[in-house]
Amino acid sequence: MKSAIMIAAVLASRPATKTPVRKRRFASGLFVFLSSATILFGMDNEATRRSLGGLAGVRVVVEPFAPEAEMQGLTITAVRTDAELRLRRAGIRVLTEEEFNESTGVPFLELAAAISVESSVRCGVSEFVNFRQNALLERDRRIFAFAAVTWSVETVNNACRPSAVARFVRDGFNDLVDQFVNAYLATNPKK
């Protein structure tokens, strides 16, 4: 992806005498598209979905946001409420703090965002949803991994206006939580 952006940038910066207008426009358009495209990554496959099997429920944990995003109205409470509502609507039990502390494996869905205000008109956003639980290593069952990531999805390189960052981030998390719901339901079909 980075090489495609660099190629597009080089093509767009060539003098007009060496590159026809049509090629320059294409290269400029490609550069703009690639630099603002949403790229989805993560570990959502058959193997990672198996780690969601048999869960009694999950706790939702939202990591703190950048102060610039909070100043635009983005709150941990709003994002957590959105995620919990989506889980409950899908029939996934949301654990209370007490239930979470007493649960086997202490399973939780972690929501985190890296937000960078690049200018007064552009903000970069990457969002991460990780399912974490305690795990034992297969090679040595005596080794305990606390809060290991066993399933995840993320988006990187999203762009929005700083004034719209709260809605943009909440919508992005809603999409990623929906992916978790789909993975969970594929592994734990309703009876």
Could you report the per-residue pLDDT of 57-75, keeping only the tens digit for each? 999 999 999 998 999 999 9
Pair (131, 118) in one structural domain: yes
Q: In what order do the strands lie in the sheet with 144-160?
A: 39-43, 144-160, 123-136, 108-117, 59-62
Flag whether the pTM goes above 0.85.
no
For the segment 51-58, the average pLDDT, to the nearest whole number, is 94
Total structural domains within the chain = 2
Does residue 12 share a domain with residue 86?
no
Q: pLDDT of 74-112, one tens digit each?
A: 999 999 999 999 999 999 999 999 999 999 999 999 999
The domain that holds 111 is classified in CATH as 3.30.160
Indicate the DSSP class of residue 92.
Answer: P
Average pLDDT over residues 128-138: 94
User: From the CA atom positions of the chain, what is the Rg in Å?
Assistant: 21
Pair 43, 28 in one domain: no
Q: Amino acid identity of 184? A: Y
Q: Are residues 4 and 60 in the same domain?
A: no
Q: Which range marks the domain in which residue 79 is found? A: 38-187
- Residue 132 CB: number of other CB atoms within 10 A? 22
